[in-house]
Each structure stands twice: as C-alpha cells, then as structure tokens.
Structure 1
Amino acid sequence: MSVNLLTYSNLNRFTEQILHFSSTRQGGVSSDEYASLNLGNFSDESRENIIQNRQLLCADLGIPLNRLIGAHQVHGTNVKLVDDSLLKMDENRRKASLEGFDALICNTPDICITTTTADCVPILLFDPVTRSIAAIHSGWRSTLNNIVGCTIEAMKDNFGVNPANLIAAVGPCISGAVYEVGGELESQFHINGFDTHQFFSQKNDDKFLFDIRLAVQKQLEAVGVNNIEVSPHCTFSEPDLFFSARRQGSHSGRMLSGICLKK
C-alpha cells in the first residue's frame, strides 16, 4: 500500500511555489493500534517504525527526512520561527529548541513545517505575496486562547503578512457531530467571549457537542482571512482513514499536516 495523503484545492493552485499535505493512517509499516502510517514522534510506539514511516512520507514528498520539522506540542499558543539556523543544530539542540510550541512559521525554502494531530485541528497557511507559511495545532485549549490569531500576528511581525492574502486549509479533525465535552468547557469558552450558541449544542444536562473546526474557521475569518478550505473529514468517525485519540485512547497513532516553500 502506498502512502495516502490528502491535499487542499485552494493550496493546490500554488503547486509551483509550495508542497503541502495532510497524512492519513494508510501506507506505513506500523501494526495493531498504530496501523499503519503512524508519524507521531511522541506516540507510544517503536522509534524504528516511526522513523521508517517518516522516511516513506518523505520519499513520497521528495524531501530529505531532516527537512521535516515539527515541534513538541503542549496545547499552548507559543509560535516558533523556523529557519536555516535550526537545521544546523545537532539533534539534541534542535529537539530542545522545538519544545513547547503549537505553531511553526517559516519563510525559508525547502523546510517542511508540520503539525501533529489525532483529533485536534491542523491548520496550514500560505501567503503568496510574502512567500511565508505556517503550520498550526489547535486543540480546545489552543482554540480557547486563539492560537490562530497568535500565529497570524507572528507572521505579521516577522514577514509583514496581510491576512487578506493568506490561503488557509483546515484539516481533518474531530467533528461537531461527535465531539462531546462537559459543561465546564462550554463555560470557559463563554467566559472568553465566544458565541457559544454558535459552536456548542447541548446533548443532555451536562454534555455538549463542540464544533471546534467551525470555531477555528471563525477565528481565521475574524482576523481577515477570506480564502479558507475546511476538510469535511472526521477523524473520530473514519477509523479506516484516521487515528483518533478520542476513539483509541493513549495508544493512538498520529497524523501530520505539513507545508513547504519550494525554491
């Protein structure tokens, strides 16, 4: 089985300038709960299988493995600028420098920045004017604290990005039809100023269904991003295609979404 990758039609219009993808769970060497394309460096599986899966991905993309860059995500809002200096670090220093970030931004060609997910929302951004990119991981905590807005502010500061020029892809994640959360979470979003009636529907006395991808889409729109493609896929409801931490528990694999500027 070959590696099965998804792409986005709005980003596909720029194939001469970028490559991009969201992985599925299909086409790797892992087995059992991790079958088969587990790409999560921090998942509880053999390091050998993860490296081999990443090699298969990079072969499909046509990039060297050391150009596939991802952070250790912590459900925060910190944004990391990735450039050539990172590639010159030894493995331990590079790992340390990527600790604690949930968004990466870059304007250096031939570096594929990635975000790791298994129900949370992956977001890819491309500005064809400044030739800059971002990869964002937005779980509920990062959505609550608007990592999308934080990332775009960082792109403004570092690259001079105008949000109206950004092309955005919101990747596969858990859908509002099945993402069950408690009332305390709905309350936190209400306190933070969210129109919770738009994003939460009450299931019973103390449970709600949360449309996290709609919340992320509205955050993009709120800062002036107009060109947004939202994947219809639900990671929880499509077990043949995707890993899901909510469905599988602690032994879930991970998908990657990534974007890379071409020279």
Structure 2
Amino acid sequence: MSWQRDELNGIEFYRNSELNGVGLIQAVTTRRAGNMALHTGDDPRAVLRRRSAFLEGFGFSLDDLVCADQVHGSRVHVVERAQAGAGARETHTAISATDGLVTREPGLLLAIFSADCYPVFLYDPKTPAVGLVHAGWRGTLAGIARNAVIAMERAFGTVPGDCRAVLGPAICDRCFIVGSEVADTFAMEHADAVRAENGQYRVDLAEVNSRFLEEAGIDRQRIERPEFCTVCHSDRFFSFRAESGSGGRLMSVIGLKPVESA
C-alpha cells in the first residue's frame, strides 16, 4: 500500500510514498481534516484556519499556495512565482477557469479541491517539475490529464517518459453510475471503459485518465491508480454523490520544496 495516513497540526491527510521525498511534498486531506474549500458555504475563517494549519505542518503558508478556479474544463496553467498565494484566501484571486496547474518553481504548493473528481498528481524528477489536475468526468473526457503532461513538456522541456503519475482518492467505476447519454459519449472512444449492468451504466474514469496519460508518453507502469474510492470510503473522504451534493471538499497539494530545505 503506497498511500499512508498521517497527521500534522491536527489535520489528517494521506500521502503517496512514491511522491514524497527529499525535494517533493504531496498530500490529500480527509473528511476528518474538515472542509478545505471556500466555495461550499462554510465559514471562510474556519476554512482558512484549516488550510493554514495543514500548510504550516509542511513548513508552508497561505502565501505559498496556488489554487485554481475549477470549471470542469481542460485548461492547464503554467504557474510562475508571481502567482504565489493565488486563491489561497479568496476565491476571486484563484487562477481563473482552470483545472490543471503545473510549475517548476520551488516553494510553491499547487492545490485543487475535490469530492469525487480525480486529483491527478504529476512529477518530473529530472527537471524537476510538478503538476496537479482536477479531473471530473468532463475534464477526463476532454483529456486534461494529457494536456497537463503536454504543458510540462512545452513549458519545461519535461520528458514524459521520466514522469510518474498518481491518481488520488476519487469515485470508482462501481460507483460512477451515469445516464445513457454520458455513457454513449464515453463509449465513442473508450468503449471498454463503459459497462452496462442491470440497466445501469458505469464508467471507469481512472482507466480513461490513465490512457490519456499513457498517450502523452508516461509509461503505464509509472501510472498509479487510486487505492480509495470517495463513495465507498465516504466515512474517510468527502463525496459529492454520497452526500447528494452537500458537504465539503478535500484539498490535494503537490510542490517542490524550497531549495534550502530540499
């Protein structure tokens, strides 16, 4: 099991052993850590306290966080040093209309928020550089995971074959039940990722994202599928479906440690 539970400053989270090392930090919070998103109607002061406690445990602050204004699209943004703190305290300062972030700047933590959608973590150890994607079904279908790898390749000279990709906690194929229209849309290019069963259609979003990552040049052996389903384990993670749209959001982060602490 490569995902390990941990806790810092009273904030519970999971981290992937393949993505945490001398120069890299990666984690995703849990339900017990509390809601980490500012757009769900929660008290913003409480959200910021949780975010701050979580970041401080890693030696970071809100000034180092970079958040996207997620729209379930396929746009990827290359994050520069000047964008440190974007969306950390207020939603209107987040990187607009974006579901993917990539950077090679040390000392920044990229963040996305989810409650069934896929967090896709990318790591290029050679450059080094990192990426983080919010892949709902629309973004998955539009190939946002592939777009993020391409963005790293173009912006940083990343060699996709050097990269590792990890899919974080999200809805599994048993729980992602869709109508015939969505199923048909996926089946046009990903027929074997769609399963009809007892009059219902199920889509394997992890498989579709993995294929796009592979198309971008990442070796299948270096793509890790999720260990946890947010619906099956809704006692541990927030789930939009299990909670009928209410509830909080998990925060996923990845970043290169500052050079002096690496």
Q: Matched residues in 1 for 2:207 and 2:117: separation? A: 12
The runs of 5 or more residues in structure 2 that have no matched partner are 1-6
Decide whether the 8 Å contact of 2:63 with 2:88 is kept in 1. no
Q: Matched residues in 2 for 1:10 and 1:202: separation? A: 34
CA deviation vs aligned residue, 1:213-263 (integer Å, no higher than 9, x gap)? 121122212222121222210101112210001111232200011111111
When residues 94 and 24 of structure 1 are mapped into structure 2, their CA distance, relative to the original with a 3 A threshold, is: closer
When residues 4 and 127 of structure 1 are mapped into structure 2, their CA distance, relative to the original with a 3 A threshold, is: same
When residues 69 and 92 of structure 1 are mapped into structure 2, their CA distance, relative to the original with a 3 A threshold, is: closer
Task: Give 2:14's match in structure 1, choosing from 2, 6, 14.
Answer: 6
Decide whether the 8 Å contact of 1:71 with 1:98 is kept in 2. yes
Q: Matched residues in 2 for 1:184 and 1:119: separation? A: 20
Decide whether the 8 Å contact of 2:38 with 2:90 is kept in 1. no
> Which portions of structure 1, spanning 4 or more consecutive aligned residues, are displaced by more than 4 angstroms?
88-94
2:76 corresponds in structure 1 to 79
1:251 corresponds in structure 2 to 246
2:128 corresponds in structure 1 to 131
For the pair 1:221 / 2:218, whether they are aligned, the reply is no
Q: How does 1:23-42 map to 2 (within 5 A)?
A: 23-27=29-33, 37-42=34-39
Q: Which of 1 and 2 has higher RCO (CA within 8 Å, sep 6+)?
A: 1
Decide whether the 8 Å contact of 1:44 with 1:251 is kept in 2. no
Q: Matched residues in 2 for 1:143 and 1:134: separation? A: 15
Q: Matched residues in 2 for 1:210 and 1:90: separation? A: 32
Structure 1 window deviating more from structure 2 (219-228 vs 80-89): it is 80-89
Q: Matched residues in 2 for 1:104 and 1:25: separation? A: 24
Q: Secondary structure at the match of 2:242?
A: helix
How much has 1:99 moved relative to structure 2? 1.4
1:188 corresponds in structure 2 to 185
How much has 1:91 moved relative to structure 2? 8.3
* Letter aligned with residue 187 of structure 2: H
Identity %: 27
How much has 1:92 moved relative to structure 2? 9.6
The runs of 5 or more residues in structure 1 that have no matched partner are 28-36
Q: How does 1:1-263 map to 2 (within 5 A)?
A: 2-12=10-20, 15-27=21-33, 37-87=34-84, 95-96=92-93, 98-191=95-188, 193-194=189-190, 196-197=191-192, 199-205=193-199, 207-226=200-219, 227-262=222-257, 263=259
Count of aligned residue pairs for this structure pair: 248
Q: Secondary structure at the match of 2:165?
A: strand
Decide whether the 8 Å contact of 1:86 with 1:94 is kept in 2. no
1:32 corresponds in structure 2 to none
Q: Matched residues in 1 for 2:89 and 2:232: separation? A: 37
RMSD, matched Cα: 2.1
> Normalised by the size of structure 2, how large is the TM-score?
0.89
